[in-house]
Amino acid sequence: MLGARTGSMMWVMGAMLALSACTAAVHDGGSSTGGYAAPAAHPVTPAVPAGTEPFQALVNDAHARFAGVTEGKNADYIPILATIPSELYGVAIATRDGHVYTAGDVDYRFSIQSVSKPFTAALVMQQYGGPEIIAEKIGVEPTGLPFNSKLALEIYKARSVNPLVNAGAIAAVSLVKAKNEKERWQHVLGNLEGFAGEKLPMLEKVYDSEYTTAFGNRGIANLLFNWERLYSEPEEALRVYTRECSVGVNTVDLALMGATLANGGVNPKTGKRMLDESSVPELLAIMMTAGFYDESGRWSFDAGLPAKTGVGGGIVAVVPGRFAIAAFSPRLNEAGNSVRAQKAIRYIAGKLGVGLFGPNGD
Ligand code: GLN
């Protein structure tokens, strides 16, 4: 039997051993313990001062660097999108004072799809005197689920959830103040044109292809109506929503739409106010938390910028108060986000160090 004194000495020695093992684990990154693994070195690139950004060199570089990427595939649940040439690839930056820098296929018109969603949310904010209407009638929580999720409607009390997934976007269209369907559509189209600063065509073939296969979205519209979270007749909201998704834009249009948000809501090309400056932060916050659907966390982690994607292959990201970066390439990843477009935008954002939480590095 050990005496009390010997026992306590052994306890002290044991504790010291344990402590030194612990210290060693911290010093060697814990690899020997199989627990904590030290992060890889993460060099931080200092931010490029505003006014000195080499925008043209960067769009050229981003375009060239990812030109050979063939990962992903065109959306095909809207049949016509599968026929868009997958090789198309454009990159553009538009600044808050209206300068535009481009590389690649920036004149090709593709369907805007979900990139339209934040802009229609902006229209609703304008019509109702501020952003609160969106929180109250639609919701502002990211779902962590795919853009067309019906499950999200069941598990979240707010039902339509946020205006950047299909449910919330159909609800946003239904909230647009209009006396009939024609006027609703004119408001929605006119608003997108105001953000782009030019007339935009409707891609009728895209509309037909989507509307004739829109059984999922029709289900969503009817569910929302059932829960009193849709504010017009469901089929009307579905038609106008599908039309809005079929509007043809090019990469420069998207960059200018984003630059309007970067410019506090005023289109830098036309000088027209599209959104009150006081509503811009709320809209950008929704884009940050939900613009990439169930990849929004990863996008914020990588790029730190509010952005919106669409299954047509377009993406626009906003650097508040400065500029917007847009890119287009039809091949999408599993979440429905363009592979090359996000690489290009991430690359430019990293080079300029413009992530909102600090420079994200290269
Ligand atoms: N119009 C498409 C849809 O409703 C938009 C989806 C998207 O771009 N993510 O499914």
**Ligand 1 centroid, distance to 173 Cα (angstroms):** 14
Residues forming a β-bridge with 316: 308, 326
Report which ligand 1 atom has the smallest distance to the Cα of 312: 8
Q: Rounded to the nearest whole angstrom, what is the distance from the C-alpha of residue 61 to the centroid of ligand 1?
A: 30
Distances (CA, A) of 200 to 112, 196, 197, 244, 246: 10, 8, 9, 11, 10
CA distance 252 to 200: 12
pLDDT at 312 > cutoff 60: yes
What integer pLDDT is reported at residue 50 of this predicted model? 92
Rounded-to-integer distance, Cα 89 and Cα 110, Å: 11
pLDDT band at 361 (very low <50, low <70, confident <90, very high): confident
**CA separation for the pair 303, 316 (Å, rounded):** 12
Q: How far apart (Å, rounded) are the C-alpha atoms in residues 74 and 87?
A: 10
Q: How far is the CA of 29 from the centre of ligand 1 (A)?
A: 45
Are the CB atoms for 203 and 248 separated by under 8 Å? yes
Residue 34 has pLDDT above 70, yes or no: no
Q: Check if 336 has its Cβ closer than 6 Å to any atom of ligand 1.
A: yes
Q: Which two tokens stand for residue 294?
A: 């169930």
Where is 172: in which H helix or E strand?
helix 166-175
Distance from the CA of 333 to the center of ligand 1, in angstroms?
14
Cα-to-centroid distance, 1 and ligand 1 (Å): 76
* Interior/surface letters 248-282, b for 16+ CB within 10 angstroms, e for the rest: bbbbbbbbbbbbbbbbbbbbbbbeeebbeeebbeb
- Kindly state if the Cβ of 337 falls inside 6 Å of ligand 1: no
CATH architecture of 55-352: 3-Layer(aba) Sandwich (3.40)
Query: How confident is the model at residue 22, as a pLDDT?
Result: 37
pLDDT of residue 46: 82
Of 147, 212, 242, best ligand 1 pocket probe by most atoms within 8 Å of the beta carbon: 147
| Residue 117 tokens, joined | 């969603």
List the domain boundaries for the chain.
55-352
Query: How far apart (Å, rounded) are the C-alpha atoms in residues 230 and 223?
Result: 9
User: Does ligand 1 lie within 6 Å of residue 114's CB atom?
Assistant: yes
- What confidence score (pLDDT) does residue 306 get? 98
Q: Is 118 in the pocket of ligand 1 (CB under 6 A)?
A: no
Q: Per residue in 42-101, pLDDT tens?
A: 666 789 999 999 999 999 999 999 999 999 999 999 999 999 999 999 999 999 999 999
What average pLDDT score do residues 117-137 get? Answer: 98
- Give the distance (Å) from ligand 1 centre to CA of residue 72: 17
In this structure, which residue's CA is closest to atom 3 in ligand 1? Answer: 166
Q: Is the pLDDT of residue 166 over 90?
A: yes
Cβ-based neighbour number of residue 336 at 10 Å: 21
Is the sign of the CA dihedral 60, 262, 288, 238 positive or negative? negative
Side-chain-side CA neighbours of 356 within 13 Å: the count stands at 21
If one residue of 112, 148, 241 were mutated to test the ligand 1 pocket, choosing by the most ligand atoms within 8 A of its CB, it would be 148
CA of 331 to the centre of ligand 1 (A): 14
Q: What is the C-alpha to C-alpha distance for residues 26 and 24, in angstroms, rounded to an integer?
A: 5
CA-proximal residue: ligand 1, atom 4 (nearest):
166
DSSP state of 39: P
- Provide the 3-class DSSP secondary structure of residue 266: strand
Model pLDDT for residues 238-297, shown as the tens digit of each residue = 999 999 999 999 999 999 999 999 999 999 999 999 999 999 999 999 999 999 999 999
Is the pLDDT reported for residue 36 higher than 80? no
Query: Rounded to the nearest whole angstrom, what is the distance from the C-alpha of residue 75 to the centroid of ligand 1?
Result: 10
Tell if the pTM clears 0.85, that is, is over it: yes
Strands (E), the chain: 90-95, 100-104, 110-111, 248-249, 307-309, 314-319, 323-328
One-letter amino acid of 116: S
Any atom of ligand 1 within 6 Å of the Cβ of 148: yes
